[in-house]
Amino acid sequence: MKNKLHSHREHLSEIENLLKSRERFLITTHVHPDGDSIASVLLFSAILDHLGKKSCIVLDDPVPRKFDFLQNVGNIRPYENFQCPYPPEVVVILDVSTLQRIGRVRELIRPEHRIIHIDHHPESERLGHSHLLDSDESSTVELVHYLASVCGLPVTQKIATLVYAGILCDTGRFLFPNTTHRSLEVCAEMIKRGANPGFIADRIYHRNSPQTLKALSDALATLEFHYGGAVSCMHLNHNTWKNREKLDTEGFIDFLLTVEGTEVEFFMLKIKPDLFKISFRSKTYVDVNEVAKGFGGGGHTRASGCYMEGNEERVKERILAVLQKYIHSPGKGSPVRKD
């Protein structure tokens, strides 16, 4: 951690000075927030509380119920009917690579606002004025944790829980390639400070509703394999999704990762008629960030996503046509034909 603090010293100092020189802050993150993004905004808010500053957190989408145990999660406000109690001087944007990713919250940003941007996605755009960008980090909360250290935020049990939970989620329970020795060292330190791994995992992963399990069953029933089994996919349709407030589909695609012999997995979630939210995963050699970028999305090398319009078959055909260019026979380098 000391080496990272040193390498980011200039950017951390710049952000620290801005935090100390301003009084009113607005904090946000991407649409469809996940564990890393939620932990990041809550940790940043804790830093501002420690410094005696005013802050509001506003998100385009509601916080999933599984994160209801995190410190001050009730302070996060949805964009609907949001009114900031004061005019912010600084807007803090966390865990996004482009401004479009914060959704309707963009409408709250004014030309006079200073912007702090912290992110760990590859090829992240520099948004605003002060940046802390590092795609070598496991998560954005790990970067915010460095800032918390510089600003002298005491690591209480609740703060340790935030950091641990954010890293746990963005590393896929420490299974994804972005799991680093640094992220494990930070998590070990958080356990020393009171984070309870069993409790955190239970709250996040072991509270599925019956509706969620039924939806998973429906999605798995659509499972298909293509290109000699190198690509797997499934979808969830609009009728099943109508009870979305009771569903948590975030981890559905991870079930496809368990299939031996697959290289790329994608999950098509219909969120509106003729609009799909696509999640991509890959195991060894396909850069699904590049795949998603081709459809206007993005993310990481092994995990990314996008939105696509069209009916189910047309969206699937478009994705498969692109993936065919990336899939190769083992040891040969030539595309594998569709089954």
**DSSP-derived 3-state class of residue 307:** strand
d(Cα 15, Cα 151) in Å, to the nearest integer?
A: 10
**β-pairing verdict for 224-226 and 231-236:** antiparallel
Q: Does 108 score more than 70 pLDDT?
A: yes
Nearest to 322 by CA among 284, 278, 283: 278
Phi and psi at residue 7, to the nearest 5°: -65, -30
Cα 250 from chain centroid? 10
Could you give the domains of the chain? 2-205 (3.90.1640.10), 210-323 (3.10.310.30)
- Could you tell me the strand order of the sheet in which 54-59 lies? 76-78, 54-59, 24-28, 90-94, 114-119, 130-133
Give per-residue burial for 212-236: e unless 16+ CB within 10 Å, then b: beebbebbeeeeebbbbebbbbbbb
Per-residue pLDDT of 295-314, as tens digits, reads: 999 888 999 999 999 999 99
Per-residue pLDDT of 170-227, as tens digits, reads: 999 998 889 999 999 999 999 999 999 999 999 999 999 898 999 999 999 999 999 9
For Cα atoms 286, 287, 291, give the angle at the middle one, nearest 5 degrees: 105
d(Cα 268, Cα 280) in Å, to the nearest integer?
A: 9
**β-pairing verdict for 303-309 and 275-282:** antiparallel
pLDDT tier, 242 (very low <50, low <70, confident <90, very high otherwise): low
DSSP-derived letter for residue 64 is: P
Per-residue pLDDT of 311-320, as tens digits, reads: 999 999 999 9
- Given this model, what pLDDT does residue 337 score? 35
Which residues are CB-contacts of 180 (< 8 A; sequence separation ≥ 6)? 136, 137, 138
- Given this model, what pLDDT does residue 338 score? 39
**β-pairing verdict for 54-59 and 24-28:** parallel
